[in-house]
Structure 1
Amino acid sequence: MKRYLCSIIISLVVLLSIGTYYVKVASSASSLPTYTFKTSEGSVKELDPVIVQATLEHHNIYEPLTIESDRTKYDSDRPFWSDRNDVQIERLIKKHRSFMRGRDFINSFYEDDDFLAYASVNSEYTKSGKMKAEFDIGLLEKKDEDETSFRIDVPGQERVMNTEVRDVQLIHSKLQVLTMNDVYSNDDKQTKEVHLYTIDLAKKKVVNDKTLVSETFTYPNQVDFEMPVNTSPSKPNNMILISIIKAVTDEEGVYEEKLKESKLFSYQYDTEKLSTIKGAKKESLNLDIARSGYTDGKNLYAIAFKSGKYQMKTFDISSGALTNNIQLDLAAGKEEANYVAIKNGRVYFLLRSGMGENVTYKPAHLLIADLKTGKTLYKGETVMHAAKKKNEQKTGFSVNNLEVK
């Protein structure tokens, strides 16, 4: 009897806790402002796929929020057991919930019309102090929802200190997994490598481990590998860009890049060709452009600020040639931060000033333009609707991210 009584008491405590949580949430939400977009040009329908993540500051309290479909949702309104994922991950979860369980890093996915594939690396230190690393592989055949999952050892795992999956492709029934690895070196040396692992899905084994790039260095020298932001990271992609950034850290800990010694490479999956991009020609793809660009696997899009205006240049990755140059109808100061998304044949450009020393509301400006012509499809700014008018000028608003469905 005591056991049942204990269970009942625990259940009541849990229910009361949940009830208290939602009462507090409802009370809090009613006192918080909402945000919408005020349209100055174009169609409001262009806002449908836009998701803006921001933070409200009020009386030294920070409230994360999301503006979606021109409506405001505070994180405090969400069930306390729920997580907020990348919109691309949330889309996959809705379609393939079973396959997606415990898998939430978008760079680990590949998706086409027939398959959804996944590859990640799980690692841990053994009692002997050595690293044990293995691939977690998953393949879903969409037609019949047939799932295959298995784990296999990462080749040379005893050398691996840390590994990060950066791209996954499915080519001729074999999974291509691109990783950036920190590996053990002798003495005081450090080594970083870019690996391409080929995994035979039928045989469930790694059939090739190719080192694309390897850099060994000693402190105070530093080396970092970078890749442009991928606008569609899970989609089929035949070419990638890799930047090798060399730098040095001085006695005071100041990090200084050595761009003359840094390099830009391209790798083509179907030909297995690794090429150095020199960018010698004027108005051609180079290291500086690639580092600040956005890629869809075929083109690289770079945003430039000139004479108070933003320009977007398009470069063909395979040739490095400039193929398009458009000016965006959005003026701004250099101190203003921007968030860019490229999707649906459009460039989405969100501009904001951020919060200064005095907490006041400053609107974020949104421009949506045609990717090829630069024609403005939408222009507007956020408007705050304060729950209490007297609080309107004491509320800060800071944009954190821009996502597009």
Structure 2
Amino acid sequence: MKQYISSILLVCLSIIIIGAYYGIMIVNANDFPEYSIKTLEGHESEMKDVSLSGFVEKEGMNTSVKITSNETLYLSNQSSLQRMTVYNDPRIEKLKKEHRSFMRGKNNIYSFYQDADFIAYAETVYKPSSLDHSYKYVFNIGLLDLASDKDISFELGVPGEIFNSISVLDVQLIQSKLKVVTKNYMYTNTGMDEAEVHVYTFDLGNQKLLNDEVIITPQQVKMGYDVINSMEQNPSQPQKSIIFIKRPEIVNQSEGSANTTNKAAIFEYVYDKNHLKTIELPESLTDRIVTSQNYVNGDKLYVINHDAKGLHLTTFTITNQTITNDQTFPIKSVGTETFPIVIKNDRVYVLATNDFEENNSSNLPPQLFIGEMKTGKTMYKGEVIPKKVDQKFNTKSLVLYSLEIN
């Protein structure tokens, strides 16, 4: 009996200690500062739909934070329900609210396709085989008919080699066939991963795989081929193609200089044509695209560079293969910084951790810049600062790494 009493007392003591620890954590979380976005230039109405995400560090503890023009939201202060609605991807939450049954267990927005008639889904899952108990990647495929609210789902093994990991890059419904673009990583004897890009074509009616095409080989990946990130706010919308970049292969690097064997190039894989075609770039972009931030939105390629004059943003229309806009914004960078950037509604939104003026140190508040695409005009400039002046908190404890436009 004494043994049981000792065990019970030990459990109770553990609960008290753990409870006290988490109680302190909650109190500390409540002590984190409130932030505001102070307007330095322009109209506050320009940033009313902007939210900034990152984390705040205090006394060795980090907590996620989301800052808007109205409030500061800390993950540690939210209930479980609030965390789902505030911190989860709002596009996924919207789909779950509208199609709860179909969305069960589906969380990756890049695995969806949606048009006026259907929602399609494709994801890869690593699971044991029912035959020999070995682990292998399988496709989870789903299709929801929005008119009838009926759905189908099936599972198919990923053919070929046993891959180390697989990530879905794009999902499209083309002429009643589901196209799934993936980047597959293979573990080699050298201990280094090799990657290749596949396009899988599925017959949804007969629930079978029609084709597995490698469109970017491991050798091409080593030569600098890679997909260009999308800046589309809704990556599940219909697209006719996916865009790739080939950066020149660096063959020698010494004393801060590098030589390359060939020029950069852009390739477009058109889904209904099943082939990769070259996009001709103007000479002025061929050199810049190597060291730039590159994004695709629909048929627009955005090429973004920084130098002493500011941030250069060139819009290249893929359909016409012409430059349709070229602006320089007064955003100064320190070194070779990469800024979170969103382009939406004829505005470019930039989140920076350094001041936009020259010859300033990097220990400055995070800053938000909004510029007009057509004219290059500065529409808004502000900085993120604590609402209350407190020596315990400084800008170095706040790290912001993304922005969203609602």
Shorter-chain TM-score above 0.5: yes
SS state at 1:234 partner: coil
170-179 or 97-106, which moves further after superposition?
Answer: 97-106
Aligned to 2:47: 47
Partner deviation per Cα, 1:380-399 (whole Å, 9 max, x = no partner): 2112124x734244862221
Q: Distance in 1 between matches of 2:275 and 2:381?
A: 42
Aligned to 2:262: 260
Q: 1:241 to 1:222 in 2, by over 3 A?
A: same
Q: Distance in 2 between matches of 1:391 and 1:134?
A: 51
Aligned to 2:343: 342
Q: Distance in 1 between matches of 2:96 and 2:19?
A: 28
How far the C-alpha of 1:350 sits from its partner, in A, is 0.9
Q: Is the 8 A contact 1:47 1:70 kept in 2?
A: no
SS state at 2:325 partner: strand
Q: Does 1:157 align with 2:160?
A: yes
Q: Is the 8 A contact 1:283 1:321 kept in 2?
A: no
SS state at 2:334 partner: coil
Q: Distance in 1 between matches of 2:78 and 2:128?
A: 36
SS state at 1:45 partner: helix
Q: Is the 8 A contact 1:245 1:259 kept in 2?
A: no
Q: What root-mean-square deviation, in Å, do the aligned CA atoms of Structure 1 and Structure 2 show?
A: 4.0
Q: Does 1:96 align with 2:108?
A: no
Aligned to 1:8: none
The TM-score normalised by the length of structure 2 is 0.78
How far the C-alpha of 1:301 sits from its partner, in A, is 0.9
Partner deviation per Cα, 1:344-369 (whole Å, 9 max, x = no partner): 33221111139xxxxx9731111222
In structure 1, give the amino acid aligned to 2:392: N
Q: Distance in 2 between matches of 1:331 and 1:337?
A: 12
Aligned to 1:298: 299
Q: Is the 8 A contact 1:132 1:158 kept in 2?
A: no
Aligned to 1:324: 325
Unaligned stretches of 5+ residues in structure 2 = 1-11, 253-257, 356-361
Aligned length: 379
Q: Distance in 1 between matches of 2:393 and 2:214?
A: 57
In structure 2, give the amino acid aligned to 1:399: L
Q: Is the 8 A contact 1:228 1:292 kept in 2?
A: no
Q: 1:170 to 1:385 in 2, by over 3 A?
A: same
How far the C-alpha of 1:258 sits from its partner, in A, is 6.0
In structure 2, give the amino acid aligned to 1:45: S
Which structure dedicates a bigger proportion of its chain to strand? 1
Q: Is the 8 A contact 1:277 1:286 kept in 2?
A: no
Q: Distance in 2 between matches of 1:54 and 1:189?
A: 32
In structure 1, give the amino acid aligned to 2:243: L
Q: Is the 8 A contact 1:169 1:176 kept in 2?
A: yes
Q: Does 1:391 align with 2:392?
A: yes
Q: Does 1:402 align with 2:406?
A: no
Q: Distance in 2 between matches of 1:79 and 1:270?
A: 46
Identity %: 32
121-130 or 310-319, which moves further after superposition?
Answer: 121-130
Q: Distance in 1 between matches of 2:269 and 2:98?
A: 32
Q: Distance in 2 between matches of 1:361 and 1:398?
A: 11
Q: Distance in 2 between matches of 1:257 and 1:190?
A: 25
Partner deviation per Cα, 1:214-239 (whole Å, 9 max, x = no partner): 2349xxx9466522221222221112
Q: Distance in 2 between matches of 1:385 and 1:326?
A: 34
Q: Is the 8 A contact 2:280 2:321 kept in 1?
A: no
Q: Is the 8 A contact 1:346 1:371 kept in 2?
A: yes
Q: Is the 8 A contact 2:142 2:154 kept in 1?
A: yes
1:127-142 superposed matches below 5 A = 132-142=136-146
Aligned to 1:288: 289
Q: Does 1:166 align with 2:169?
A: yes
SS state at 1:27 partner: helix
Q: Is the 8 A contact 1:51 1:404 kept in 2?
A: yes
Aligned to 1:253: none
Q: Distance in 1 between matches of 2:338 and 2:312?
A: 15
Partner deviation per Cα, 1:119-154 (whole Å, 9 max, x = no partner): 011234658696633210112233443332221233
SS state at 1:260 partner: coil
How far the C-alpha of 1:276 sits from its partner, in A, is 2.9
How far the C-alpha of 1:293 sits from its partner, in A, is 0.8
Match of 2:118 among 89, 92, 115: 115
How far the C-alpha of 1:65 sits from its partner, in A, is 1.0
Q: 1:88 to 1:275 in 2, by over 3 A?
A: same
Q: Does 1:145 align with 2:149?
A: yes
How far the C-alpha of 1:166 sits from its partner, in A, is 0.6
Q: Does 1:176 align with 2:171?
A: no
How far the C-alpha of 1:374 sits from its partner, in A, is 2.9
1:23-102 superposed matches below 5 A = 24=24, 27-79=27-79, 82=83, 84-102=87-105
Partner deviation per Cα, 1:202-261 (whole Å, 9 max, x = no partner): 2211122222222349xxx946652222122222111221235686999xxxxx996638
164-173 or 360-369, which moves further after superposition?
Answer: 360-369
In structure 2, give the amino acid aligned to 1:228: I
